[in-house]
Amino acid sequence: MSRDKRLLAAEAFWRDEEEGAEAHHVEAIVALAQRLKFRPKSIQALPVERRARQLAGLSDVSDGIATRALIAYHFGHARPLMSAFLDAVGLRHENGLISDEPQPPAPDRLQSAVSSIRQSFAPEDVDLYLQTLVVLDQDTWGGLAELLPPAP
C-alpha cells in the first residue's frame, strides 16, 4: 500500500466503531506506546490524525490490526468499488456489505466482474480490494487470486 493509502486505512481504523474494533484499538495503542515509549493513556489521548500517522508508520502491525484497518478503509473509502464488484458478481448487498453468506462465484462470473470494475476504478484500488477479499475469505474468493497481477 502507498503511504497515502496506509494513512487513510489508519484513520479509518481509529474511526471504526463496529463491534470488535475496540479490542484492536487497544492492541494498537499498546503497540504504539511501546514503540514511542509513551504510556498507553497518552497514546489514547492523541488526536485521531496523530494516532493514524503513527500507526501508518508501523511496519510490523499484527494481522488483526492490518485486517481491521483494511476492512475499515474499504468501508470508509471504497464503497462504490465494493458495490460495483458485488453487483457485477451478482451478490445481494447493502452499500457493499454482503447481506447473505456468499457462495464462491463461478470463475467466468469473477472474470467478468473483475473486468467490469477495472474499467471504472484505479488499478491499485481494484487490486487492493481483490487481494483483501482473497486474504479474508479464501473459500469464497480464492478464485480471484489468479486474476490478480503477480506480486512484485
**pLDDT 10s digits, 38-47:** 999 999 999 9
Span 57-80, pLDDT tens digits: 998 899 999 999 999 999 999 999
The closest of 59, 73, 68, 77 to 26, measured between CA atoms, is 68
* Residue 56: count of CB within 10 angstroms of its CB: 20
Instruction: List the beta bridge partners of residue 94.
Output: 97
3-state secondary structure of 97: strand
Which residues fall within 8 angstroms of residue 71, CB to CB, at 6 or more apart?
Answer: 16, 132, 136
CB 105 within 8 A of CB 89: yes
pLDDT band at 1 (very low <50, low <70, confident <90, very high): confident
Span 18-57, pLDDT tens digits: 888 999 999 999 999 999 999 999 999 999 999 999 999 9
The pLDDT of residue 138 is above 70: yes
The residue type of 119 is Q
Q: How far apart are CA 95 and CA 83, in angstroms?
A: 6
- Residue 152 is predicted with a pLDDT of 66
- For range 99-116, the mean pLDDT: 92
- For range 72-96, the mean pLDDT: 94
Q: How far apart are CA 22 and CA 118, in angstroms?
A: 34
CB 2 within 8 A of CB 124: yes
